[in-house]
Structure 1
Amino acid sequence: MRILYLALQQEFPAPHAGFSHVYSVIKSLRKLGHEVIVVCKASRREDIWKWKNYDGFEVLSTSLHLDYFPPTVNMPYERIRQLMTLEILRACAKFKKLVEDRKIDIIHERHDMRFDISGLVSKLSGIPSVLEVNSPFLEECFGEGSVGYMLRNITRRASFKLSSSVVVQTGILKKIIDKNTGVNSKVIKNGADPEMFRPLEKDFKSFEFLKGSVVVGFSGAFKPWHGVDMLIEASKGLDVKLLLIGGKVQVSNGLAVGAIPHEEVPRYLNLCDILVAPFAPSKDEKRKEMYKRYGMWWCPLKIFEYMAMEKPVISSRVGEVPEYLEGAGLTYEEGDVEGLRDAIEKLSKDKELRERLGRRGREKVLEHYSWDKIAKDTERLYEELIF
């Protein structure tokens, strides 16, 4: 099967979860024997509409900003120019030619807060398309019911309905998208690479001060809604040390190592005995009303990467996280620092429980949440649409 994968707002490579998701899915699709051609966002102007090779993938860089109409007041000139000069028509022609030249069987597009072009190209080319939606961007940016939202949602509904199928990460996100666009989306969850994220012998080189301690770890962004401040507070006075990956902050009982390359994250996580995802969506001022209305719609990669490491996981009880962690970790009410503290203390004192939860977590990833499993689910959807 020849797949054209459009990630028009995603640089390739890039140091964040968006790239990890795209790369992991297409890597697993290739393992199944499919040919994947990637179209991504150019990181430099001189790379626009140029081909490159990344890890054996053909990657075409573009600079398309196919915004919903009408333009916003603070929209950069180049995006207004592309919108008003109908750049979408030229882009459609280029992608249609690419589909024909490469004999593409299906188009897969990663949705951003832009007009999704895959549906149009698929109709012009006579092949199916899949639109992957990872967040309700319009609702986040404009708020349901606003004039700006309603005008742009007309365009979004049209582009979604041109797609042969719409895929979302969670049942919560499905409710939002289906209600506001009129589609019947399918749920395909996220996952982890259990070959990359796997238990190893601990190497405390450069981290001797952690040796002999129960180490509690966190990996990710240090945004307020990721709850790092609550983790630091909850760990005070406990006989544990913290290892925080992804940002810099003062830690009296451990270390924050800052951002590191994604491929090095497993080595750091392996030093930990307990891994924590203290999500705090109520601290997200921009989106907290939506979280109250629907619940947290994320399907966090870090949860599955933690589980793949065969470590017990502690997380706040938000969204669908309790389902993922059933039998593999402990949960507490969002914002409850004492509840988080109790969970850390319980696991820090019970090695047998840590090992049991960790084993079950890795088993669940291998059974349900590996990228290979997600790729097979995606392949099955492709086959339904093509054949």
Structure 2
Amino acid sequence: MRILYAAPDQPIPGTQGGSVHVTSVAEGLAARGHDVHVLASPGEGAFPSGAVHWYDARPPMGIQKFRLLRSARVLTRARTVQPDVIIERYYNFGGEGLLAASAVGALAVLEVNAPIIDYAGSPKQWVDRALVVQPMRRWRNWQCTHSDLIVTPLSDIVPESVPHERILEIEWGADTARFHPSAAGVIPFHREAGEIIVVFSGAFRAWHGAIHLVRAVAQLQSSGRRDIKAVFIGDGPELERVRREASGLTGVIFTGSLPHNQMPAC
């Protein structure tokens, strides 16, 4: 099967979860024998070598919210590749892959990793309320309506209006070739004998819930469990809030972002 994967705002290679995910999905599909073509942003170095075909489709000025302005480039690539399926990584300001799928007659798959629905404190909800006509909600509903299939690890983050038969709920896999107990490398924290260390790795966003790990550690330590520690790896808009919550706790470490090849040892 020939697959075009539209993720124009994701830097490849990169340390972000999205960067790692797009690379892993593309390479995994190629390993299964599919002809995979990916539209992404150039990241920290050259695109990966191998069976996957990579194309520069970075948003104008590198601004994620301008992603939809790359619709013409995505459509041009779709007409060249003539894919059977176009997978688009969901973003509220996206939709370019779905538009291209309609134009070339390909199946449209929307990959949803972040809530389409409004969560508590959602900036999208604030914008919709301010503008009254709710443009954000209307556009994300359009994306759902024009998808032949929505693939997500959690169907609860998809609007209830989407028919259940058009949702494929599936867990994202683990890269067991890289992540295994004997993985070696530099570890940016120290573990004493008898300690239990819980690691959070990912983007610090409200729906990822990193702050709840801090609160759990605080409760355990207050009950006398001094052997419980936590390590937070990554960056994001909620990082400072999580840091403030952890103020005064012992055994809580923030490493910042780390290269993906350092993560297996962690």
Instruction: Tell me whether the two structures share a fold, i.e. TM-score over 0.5.
Output: yes
Residue 216, structure 1, aligned to residue 197, structure 2: yes
**1:116 Cα deviation from its structure 2 partner:** 0.6
Change (3 A) 1:231 1:118: same
Q: Does 1:143 align with 2:125?
A: yes
How far off its partner does 1:246 sit? 1.3
Alpha-carbon separation, structure 1, partners of 2:90 and 2:264: 29
Matched letter for residue 125 of structure 1: V
- The residue type equivalent to 2:145 in the other structure is K
Shift of 1:99: 2.5
Aligned residue number for residue 152 of structure 1:
136
Whether the 8 Å CA contact 1:210–1:241 is kept in 2: the answer is no
- Report the residue type matching 1:163 in the other structure: S
Q: Which deviates more, 252-261 or 191-200?
A: 252-261
Structure 2 counterparts to residues 180-259 of structure 1, below 5 A: 184-200=166-182, 210-220=191-201, 221=203, 225-227=209-211, 228-236=213-221, 237-240=224-227, 242=229, 244-246=231-233, 252-253=250-251, 255-259=253-257
The Cα shift of 1:138 comes to: 6.4
> Secondary structure, in 3 states, of the residue corresponding to 1:6?
strand
Contact between 1:222 and 1:246, CA under 8 Å: does it hold in 2?
Answer: no
Q: Confirm or deny: 8 A CA contact 2:8 2:57 kept in the other structure.
A: yes
Determine the C-alpha separation between the residues in 2 that align with 1:58 and 1:233: 47
Distance (Å, rounded) in 1 between the aligned partners of 2:160 and 2:219: 39
Partner SS, residue 193 of structure 1: coil
Cα deviation, residue 4, structure 1: 0.7
Residues 183 and 265, structure 2, Cα contact 8 Å, conserved in 1? no
Change (3 A) 1:265 1:231: farther
Partner deviation per Cα, 1:251-270 (whole Å, 9 max, x = no partner):
634754443222222212xx
1:190, distance to aligned residue in structure 2 (A): 2.1
> Contact (CA 8 Å) 2:124, 2:136: kept in 1 or not?
no
TM superposition shift of 1:112:
0.4
Query: What TM-score results when the alignment is normalised by the length of structure 2?
Result: 0.72
Q: Report the counterpart of residue 368 of structure 1 in structure 2.
A: none
CA deviation map 1:111-138 (0-9, x unaligned): 1011412222122212212111222346
- Structure 1 residue 3, shift from structure 2 partner: 1.0
- Structure-2 separation of matches of 1:133 and 1:29: 17
Q: Give me the whole-angstrom Cα distance separating, in 2, the residues matched to 1:261 and 1:138.
A: 31
Which AA in structure 2 matches 1:114?
Answer: F
- Structure 1 residue corresponding to 2:104, chosen from 105, 116, 125: 125
Give the Cα separation in 2 of the matches to 1:156 and 1:241.
Answer: 41
Residues 212 and 149 from structure 1, CA distance in 2 versus in 1: closer, same or farther, beyond 3 angstroms? farther
SS at the partner of 1:196?
Answer: coil
TM-fit CA distance, 1:173: 1.8
Residue 16 of structure 1 is matched in structure 2 by: 16
User: Does the aligned pair in 2 maintain the 1:130–1:163 contact within 8 Å?
Assistant: yes
CA positional deviation for 1:107:
0.8
- Flag structure 2 segments of 5+ consecutive residues without an equivalent: 235-242
Partner of 1:37: 37
For 1:362, the equivalent position in structure 2 comes to none
Selected match of 1:55 from 49, 53, 57: 49
2 CA distance for matches of 1:113 and 1:206?
35
What displacement does 1:218 show? 1.5
Higher relative strand content: 2
Tell me if structure 1 keeps the 8 A contact 2:6–2:74.
no
The gaps in structure 1 that reach 5 residues or longer are 66-75, 269-387
Alignment CA distance shift 1:241-1:143 (3 Å): closer
Quote the offset at 1:43 in angstroms.
5.6
- Cα pair distance change 1:135/1:200, threshold 3 Å: same
Q: Alpha carbons of 1:13 and 1:246: their partners in 2 closer, same or farther (altered >3 Å)?
A: same
Supply the AA of the counterpart residue of 1:193. D
Compared with structure 1, are the counterparts of its residues 117 and 206 closer, same or farther at alpha carbon in structure 2 (3 Å cutoff)?
A: closer
Q: Which amino acid aligns with 1:141?
A: P
Give the Å deviation of 1:35: 1.9
Q: Secondary structure at the match of 2:53?
A: strand
Return the structure number with greater helix share. Answer: 1
Q: Please point out which of 73, 78, 81 is paired with 1:102.
A: 81
The secondary structure found in structure 2 opposite 1:242 is strand
Report the Cα distance in structure 2 between the residues aligned to 1:217 and 1:38, rounded to whole angstroms. Answer: 34
Per-residue CA deviations over 1:13-43 (Å, capped at 9, x if unaligned) read: 2212222221221121111011211111356
Q: Percent identity?
A: 21
Work out the CA distance in 2 between the residues paired with 1:170 and 1:206: 32
1:147-171 CA-to-partner distances (Å, cap 9, x unmatched) read 5563333333333323222222213
